[in-house]
Amino acid sequence: MRRKISLVGTLAAVVAVVVAVQVWAYPESARQTKTGCATCHANPAGGEKLTVAGTEYKADHAKVLAAAAAAAEYVGGNKCKMCHIKEYKSWQESAHANAFGNLAKADAKAIAAVATALKVELKGAASKSDACVVCHVTGFHLPGGYPQADSAKTAAVASVSCEACHGPGSLHVKAAKEDKKKMIARAVSSSMCIQCHTTATSPKFESVDYMKRGVHAVPAAE
Ligand code: HEC
Ligand code: HEC
Ligand code: HEC
Ligand code: HEC
Ligand code: HEC
């Protein structure tokens, strides 16, 4: 009898941990801890390899962390255009490039349907409601991300731009050519996509098909 109860307890704990990692991983961890990605990630734009602090945080989300000195900020997709024109043009043709515009012009019925699926009650325009805006922009409430005081800067981080997938790019933009790779996250896995493509917002999400349609063309490795 006792054994059974403790097994149930263990299972519940395992489930809680799995859920916590999903919720805390990206980029909610940065919003909640109010520290740059570089505190927990070896690459200041995020990515697989964690720092010592990141590993400690993974084991214990209540851990108080000392912020890393070199933190990258979101700069907006315009800043990527001059060096990555092919990816930029291809991205412009994807649904992500219009994610904010489509939210702003969505009809009342479509808005109500998503609000119901998300179990939220909107008090004003969807494009002004944090509950909606969070996934239709880049770097929501993170340094350099959406929104900004300056309207041109805000426009550059509206919609799902480059840095929504590759992480904040200020250090990558500034870095010398030989250091650029260390300052941006190249690998974008489907576990990144499902931070926004949840079962409520994107019930048809299927990794292979969505990767094919949702990611800009990637030229064959030179
Ligand atoms: C307080 C620590 C912390 C901060 C700050 C943080 N992360 Fe993370 N991040 C983690 C942990 C822990 C994981 C989970 C790693 C694992 O499961 O091995 C993770 C996972 C990720 C992943 C992998 C997601 C996936 O499943 O593919 C990405 C990408 C990522 N973070 C990006 C970022 C970016 C970008 C920022 C800054 C905006 C950031 N993180 C800030 C701790 C943090
Ligand atoms: C001044 C030119 C320049 C700007 C601006 C620039 N990049 Fe890059 N980027 C590069 C170069 C050069 C490389 C290749 C570095 C190498 O091969 O070592 C690169 C590589 C990358 C990679 C692949 C990294 C890898 O590990 O292979 C990604 C992803 C990337 N950039 C995203 C961005 C994003 C997002 C922005 C805007 C925030 C941006 N870049 C702005 C020059 C630039
Ligand atoms: C958790 C992230 C997330 C939140 C929060 C969110 N959305 Fe979205 N939204 C998405 C994703 C992802 C898609 C694309 C789904 C697909 O096509 O598979 C989408 C698509 C949409 C579309 C269809 C776009 C089109 O092509 O016309 C509308 C309309 C929309 N969302 C409105 C809203 C409204 C209104 C809210 C707030 C009540 C909201 N969203 C909150 C992630 C989100
Ligand atoms: C929806 C997520 C997403 C968005 C948005 C996005 N990318 Fe990517 N990007 C990817 C994926 C996935 C890859 C392929 C990574 C891999 O498998 O190596 C990639 C690869 C790249 C590479 C490496 C290409 C090469 O030839 O090696 C560059 C550079 C890049 N992206 C730049 C950009 C720029 C610039 C933007 C904005 C105009 C952007 N990305 C927007 C997901 C995204
Ligand atoms: C920051 C949130 C966010 C992230 C991260 C994200 N998406 Fe999206 N995605 C959206 C939103 C919002 C839309 C709806 C855009 C619209 O139509 O207005 C969308 C639309 C799409 C669509 C078009 C769906 C349709 O049927 O029209 C595809 C495909 C897609 N995303 C694939 C991906 C993939 C693959 C990734 C990961 C590599 C990814 N997305 C990462 C928010 C996100």
pLDDT tens profile 31-44: 888 899 999 999 99
Within 10 angstroms of residue 112's Cβ, the number of other Cβ atoms is 13
Amino acid 165 reads C
Question: ∠ CA(183), CA(184), CA(190), 5° rounding?
Answer: 150
Closest Cα to residue 74, out of 182, 154, 130, 181?
154
Mean pLDDT of the 153-165 span: 96
Q: Supply the pLDDT for residue 184.
A: 97
Q: Is pLDDT above 90 for 151?
A: yes
User: Which atom, in ligand 1's list, is nearest to the CA of 190?
Assistant: 27
Q: Supply the pLDDT for residue 61.
A: 87
Instruction: Quote the CA–CA distance of 63 and 57 in Å, as a whole number.
Output: 6
Ligand 3 pocket at CB < 6 A? 102-103, 106, 110-111, 114-115, 118, 120, 122, 126, 131-132, 134-136, 196-198, 201-202, 204-205
Instruction: Quote the CA–CA distance of 205 and 190 in Å, as a whole number.
Output: 10
